[in-house]
Amino acid sequence: MSTNDSYERAKKRVAQIKGFWVHLVIYVAVIVFLFFIDVFAEDDPGNWWFYWPAMGWGIAVLIHAATVFGPFWGSGWEERKIKEYMDKDSKQGGGNASSPQ
């Protein structure tokens, strides 16, 4: 792997992490705004609605976090798995790396 390839992969990873944090900050800002709308513009104080968009969008934020930071869908997952299978195959003495074990 060349230095340029490493740089491009690192740059892509940083962009993914930055994208998540931007998403999270916007989520928090909008939900806080909706909360204040719910508190101050509500005729019926016992009828809260802001938590519905908070839960729906919150699920999307959690999925975004899992894709960026999670062990399965994070950046390079496919490459790590390929390397794992290639290493396993080489320890078993060659064979066909593409066949499932």
Amino acid symbol at 87: D
Q: What is the pLDDT of residues 75-95, one digit of tens each?
A: 566 677 777 787 888 888 755
pLDDT in tens, 29-51: 999 999 999 888 867 777 889 99
CB 37 within 8 A of CB 18: no
Exposure string of 45-63, with b = 16+ CB inside 10 Å and e = fewer, is eeeeebeeebeebeeebee
Among the ranges given (54-58, 66-70, 78-82), the one the predictor scored with the smallest mean pLDDT: 78-82
Taking the whole predicted model, whether its pTM rises above 0.75 is answered as no
Within 13 A of 73's CA, how many CA atoms are on the CB side? 8
Confidence band (pLDDT; 50, 70, 90) for 3? confident
Residue 1: pLDDT over 70: no
Q: How many CA atoms lie within 13 A of 80 on its CB side?
A: 7
Look at residue 74 and tell me whether its pLDDT is greater than 70. Answer: no
* Contacts of 42 by beta carbon, 8 Å cutoff, 6+ apart: 48
Distance between CA atoms of 31 and 18, rounded to whole angstroms? 20
